[in-house]
Amino acid sequence: MIEPFVYYTPAAVAEAVQLLGQRSAKLIAGGTDVLVQMQEGLLSPEALVDISGIDALKGIREETEHVVIGAAATHHEVMEWAHNLPQYAALAEASGSVGTPQVRNIATVAGNLCNAVPSADLGAPVLLYNSSLTLASANGSRQLPAIEFFTGPKKTALLPGEMVLSIRLTAPPVGCASAYCKHGPRKASDLAMVGVAAMVGLDDNSAVTSLVIGLNAVAPTPILVQGCEQLVGQVMSLSLLDRCARMAAQQCRPITDYRAGAEYRRDMVGVLTKRALERCAAKLGKEVREDG
């Protein structure tokens, strides 16, 4: 059962942050994660503040250097928007792998981040874009780098009374493509056992102009693979894939639980890293070269 709560539907952000500051309130947009937890008795907030009706938080806005995903934007909207935008494909593919089509129609990207379970699909993709989150509370607003947002399993840097207004992505340089690879037991509707997001830029000679790799479900938070920038200038080759896979596998810190063993997860980080990079190259119309 869902314990009773007071339900608020603020029309503006100012009203929403006032409500969040006032009492033990939980914010919902799509509400798909929160409602399941409430049905299970894991959450019983005194109030729910539903921000899905706030116009300022809706939709996805493209600016010259940035893309702003509103806190009320659903996975479905992100999939539609990023369709045919190879540089944002990681987002579309991650959103497209969350839950079921029905869930994606109401669940939001921001909600996926705020839920902050290690398997959340949007974590690593958002990290690819040097993103920041615009947070607001009754005391004002602030920008927080996305990498600092995740502090542990189901834990974020949100202060009491604070909410996410939007996710602000830095537009990647021209000529980049991204991808999200996910591994689960089935072909649909699975939680990520491992998720790897990658973004690659290649010049005409298939030399790497930019490279970012993010990992889901193999650490307490989504993480970026460190040291990728040092690979800029190298040719997209099988040995480069191997090197990236090794780096990713070394840097992840998976656990063993009933869904998978830690060593298997580590192994899959390597496999999926290669696949994500290969897919990026393919989207750029480039082949991964044999070495030597």
Partner 1 sequence: MTKIHAAIVADTDQGVVGQSVPMVDACEKVTGKAIYGADVEMPGMLYGRVLRSPHPHAKILSIDAAEAQRLPGVRAVVTWADTSGELIGFSQYSDHYIFAKDEVRFVGDEVAAVAAVDEDTAHRALKLIKVEYEVLPAVYTLDEAMAPGAPLVHDVTPENIAHQITYSRGDVDAAFAKCDVILEETFETSPAHPAYIEPQACLAAFDAYGNADIYANTQSPGGSIREKTAQVLGLPLGKVRIHQTFLGGGFGGKVWQHIIPATAVLARKAGRPVKMMYSRREDLACTPSRVPMRMKLKMGADRTGRILAKETLVLADNGAYCINSPIVIDTAATRIENLYRFENIRTTAKLIYTNKVSTGTFRGFGNPQGTFMVESMMDMLAKELAMDPAQIRIVNAVHPGYVTAHGWKINSCELEQCIHEVKRISGWEEKRKANRFGYGIGMSCVIHVNGNRSCFPAFDGSTAYISMNESGEAMVMCAEGDLGQGASTVFAQIAAQEIGLPMESVRVLRVDTEYAGFAFGAFASRITVNGGNAVRHAAAAVRRALLETAAGMRGGDVDTFTIHQGIVTDGTGWSATVAEVSLQYIYAHAGTNLRCDGFFIPPDVVIADKVTKYGNISCAYSFAAHVAEVEVDKDTGKVEVLNYYAVHDAGKLINPMLAEGQIEGGVAQGIGFALYENYCYGTDGHMLNNSFLDYKLPTFKDVPKITTGFAQGCDPVGPMGAKGLGEPTIVPVASAIGNALADALGERITQMPFTAEKVKGVVRRVMAQAAKEGQA
Partner 2 sequence: MDERHISFKVNGEAYALTVATNRTLLSLLRDTLKLTGTKYGCGEGECGACTVLMDGRPVNACLVLAVKADKSEILTVEGLADGGKLHPLQTAFIEKGALQCGYCTPGMLMSAYALLQGNHRPNDAEIADALAGNLCRCTGYQKIYDAVKEAAKVLYTEDGND
Distance between CA 32 and CA 108 in Å, rounded? 9
- The nearest distance, CB 111 to partner 2, in angstroms, is 12
User: Which residues would be at the binding site for partner 1 (CB under 8 A)?
Assistant: 1, 40, 183, 185-191, 258-261, 264, 267-268, 271, 275
Closer CB to partner 2, 32 or 273, in the complex: 32
Provide the phi-psi class of 54: left if phi over 0, else alpha when psi is between -120 and 50, else beta: beta
Given 188, 285, 290, 292, the residue binding partner 2 (CB under 8 A): 188
Residue 157 interacts with which of partner 2, partner 1, none, CB < 5 to 8 Å by class: none
Is residue 45 a contact point for partner 2 (CB under 8 A)? Answer: no
Is residue 55 a contact point for partner 2 (CB under 8 A)? Answer: no
Closer CB to partner 2, 168 or 182, in the complex: 182
The site map against partner 2 for 58-97 (x = CB under 8 A) is ------------------x---------------------
Residue 5 interacts with which of partner 1, partner 2, none, CB < 5 to 8 Å by class: partner 2
Q: CA torsion, points 264, 267, 269, 270, in degrees to nearest 10?
A: -170
Q: Which two tokens stand for residue 124?
A: 């690593």
Question: 23 by DSSP, 3-state: which?
Answer: coil
Q: CA torsion, points 235, 241, 242, 245, in degrees to nearest 10?
A: 140
- The nearest distance, CB 27 to partner 1, in angstroms, is 23
Is residue 4 a contact point for partner 2 (CB under 8 A)? Answer: yes
Distances (CA, A) of 139 to 20, 162, 165: 11, 9, 14
- Residue 98 per-residue DSSP state: S
Whether residue 244 contacts residue 236, with contact meaning beta carbons closer than 8 Å, is answered with no
Strand order in the sheet with 163-170: 60-62, 66-70, 163-170, 132-137, 140-145
Residue 182 interacts with which of partner 2, partner 1, none, CB < 5 to 8 Å by class: none
The site map against partner 2 for 168-187 (x = CB under 8 A) is -------------------x
Q: Tell me the one-letter amino acid at 90.
A: A
User: Contact residues for partner 2 (CB under 8 A)?
Assistant: 1-7, 9, 31-32, 35-36, 39, 48, 50, 52, 76, 99-103, 105-106, 187-189
